[in-house]
Structure 1
Amino acid sequence: MTGDTAGVVLAYLPDESILSNIARLREQVDRVYVVNNSPGDAGTSTVLDELSQDNGTVVLDQEKNIGVAAGFNAGMREAIADGFDYVWIFDQDSTVAEGMLDQLRAAFSDWPEPVAMAGPALRAEETGFLYDADHREGLGELQTLISSGALFSRAALEKIGLHDERLFIDYVDHDISLRARREGLAVVKVFDTVLDHRFGASTPATFLGRRIYLSNYSPMRQYYMTRNRVIMVRRYGFGRWFWEDAAYASKAWIKVLLCERDRPRKIRAGLRGFADGVRFREVRTIVQ
């Protein structure tokens, strides 16, 4: 357990699996802030009420679903206000591995340049396989990290700010990673520790004789993914991050168009998102 590190877990209509994930996290950090993004839901209250017996876990009830960016920020602000030097953030679908925190913390001292955030390698929960890009060892500098499993230093957050809450959900992690790099801070992946993670309501399917997995994101998610992708291009240009993301987005849209249900609504949502991304009005202030 590292006394200067707090965990943040974002909860939205969670099932009981979130409790075992939090228990694993509590073995490595001094305190966990659980941000309840589904207030008023009886099932959520039943699950999270079990955390009341643990003095090291604090449930932060929100007035409504405030989104991923604002949700993470709510927990991160509490951790920083309470004096923690590192904040480790998760969504409810991620499972921390034993000893992961020590390995992530080591990246901040082992990397030759100042580090803003460090994250683990990713393994797909539904398949049990590492993602293709994560079949490596040691440390590596990336363009972006996904938010879940990312460890942030307080010093970096004071320099770059927290997540941009106007993005609401998708590309929140891209934005804070690219903002950190713009400020001269490194974004580091630790390939020797692995986070089990689930993307969307992933379900298996067969296409042209091959087994594939469909994310089945809602039209709302397609809207935000498209809108925020356009916003990222406007902010950061067509760097390496874009081409890596374009490869992923192309495969995802092929699955939507050929295999998923509710295609017309998802296509319309994507088109609206593109138009709104073009019209998005930037402001100078980043949420602190």
Structure 2
Amino acid sequence: MGAVIVLFNPFLAEAQALVNKVSGQVDALCVIDNSPRPSELNLDRANLSYHHFSSNIGIAAAQNVGLSDLCLAKCDRALLLDQDSLVDEYFVKSLSDQLSSAQTDNKRVIAIGPRIVCSFSEKLVKPRVQKELFVHEDFVCVTQIISSGMLIDLHQLELTGFKDERLFIDGVDHEWCWRARRKNFDVAIANNLYMVHRLGDARSKFAGITYKVGSPIRLYYQFRNILILTRRDYVPLYWKIRNILVMPIRFFANTFLQNNKKERLIFMVRGIWDGLRMRDGSYNDNW
């Protein structure tokens, strides 16, 4: 059993606590640091490997580095975690047991994640549109789960492929799930296991709807990757329709209702332009 933690300018105390908590629960831990400078953490552990990429290779490439390390270490499963997730000392074993149980009932389950509790609202995150494809007493199969808290069966990774590095960040987790489902695998959510996770940098409200607020550059990847993914045949139709319809609202809200309006507008316009032209990869490589 192994784990991958991806860092980007983390709050050091929180990142250190996560490393400490996870390292004692796994055989191998791979920390991928996309920060401009190496994060000043205590990483002196026999089962830990550390990679620093000052240029920020993106979350997909970072996860792929970690997954490759764990495959070389002969791990059978890999837990993916972001720096802003909170887990307890029993989380890894509990999630692994849930995957074993799910695979006993449905051998097509390749990955499982916990139910997510938003750190802003302290409430359970309930997808508005996502369909439950198969309901079991202990788990439910769904179309996609987020990457943080995702436990992957590495024995099947060769069949699904690694994460799509061309997307760089936004949509990476969902795209992999959809691709796995195209290969006749299932992804699941454990019904009775919870993880606190921070989604976005802040929250704002428009027309009675609360929405996530991220950094301006994330808007580039969000708008661009929506336009890239909507042209892939294995991406669910409901996801395409929902995101295309919401794009004008998000464009308006980020142009007129947030700080750094001009900067946000530039990133969104460039994201739309590159999305229409199918230009992927890093923002810095394109602009």
If the TM-score is normalised by the length of the shorter chain, which range does it land in? Answer: 0.7 to 0.9
**Structure 2 counterpart of 1:229, from 218, 226, 230:** 226
Residue 175 of structure 1 pairs with residue 166 of structure 2: no
* TM-score computed with the length of structure 1 as normaliser: 0.82
State the identity as a percent.
28
8 Å Cα contact 2:28/2:73 also seen in 1? no
Distance 1:116 1:252, change over 3 A: farther
User: What's the offset of the Cα at 1:63?
Assistant: 5.0
**Structure 2 counterpart of 1:13, from 9, 13, 29:** 9
User: What's the offset of the Cα at 1:267?
Assistant: 2.9
Distance 1:268 1:140, change over 3 A: same
Q: Alignment partner of 1:190: what SS? A: strand
The 2-side partners of 1:24 and 1:157 are apart by 26
Distance 1:243 1:60, change over 3 A: same
Q: Alignment partner of 1:277: what SS? A: helix
Correspondence for 1:86: 77
| Map 1:38-57 → 2, pairs under 5 A | 38-41=35-38, 44=39, 46=40, 48=41, 50-52=42-44, 54-57=45-48
Q: How many matched pairs?
A: 268
Query: Mind listing any 5+ residue stretches in structure 2 that lack a counterpart?
Result: 129-134, 281-287
Correspondence for 1:268: 266
The 2-side partners of 1:254 and 1:103 are apart by 43
The 1-side partners of 2:125 and 2:243 are apart by 14
Equivalent position amino acid for 1:11 in 2: L
User: What's the offset of the Cα at 1:25?
Assistant: 1.6
The 2-side partners of 1:64 and 1:148 are apart by 22
Q: Alignment partner of 2:231: what SS? A: helix
User: What's the offset of the Cα at 1:255?
Assistant: 4.1
Cα offsets for 1:184-207 (capped at 9, x unmatched): 00011113111111123215x566
Q: Alignment partner of 1:176: what SS? A: helix
Distance 1:80 1:144, change over 3 A: same
Once structures 1 and 2 are overlaid, which stretch shifts more, 118-127 or 256-265?
Answer: 256-265
Query: Mind listing any 5+ residue stretches in structure 1 that lack a counterpart?
Result: 283-288
User: What's the offset of the Cα at 1:232?
Assistant: 1.1
Q: Alignment partner of 1:120: what SS? A: strand
The 1-side partners of 2:58 and 2:106 are apart by 35
Equivalent position amino acid for 1:93 in 2: D
Distance 1:206 1:112, change over 3 A: closer
Correspondence for 1:37: 34
Equivalent position amino acid for 1:259 in 2: L
* TM-score computed with the length of structure 2 as normaliser: 0.83
Q: Alignment partner of 1:274: what SS? A: helix
User: What's the offset of the Cα at 1:251?
Assistant: 6.6
Q: Alignment partner of 1:187: what SS? A: strand
Correspondence for 1:193: 193
8 Å Cα contact 1:94/1:148 also seen in 2? yes
The 1-side partners of 2:47 and 2:30 are apart by 9
8 Å Cα contact 2:178/2:235 also seen in 1? no
Residue 241 of structure 1 pairs with residue 233 of structure 2: no
The 2-side partners of 1:127 and 1:172 are apart by 25
Correspondence for 2:22: 25
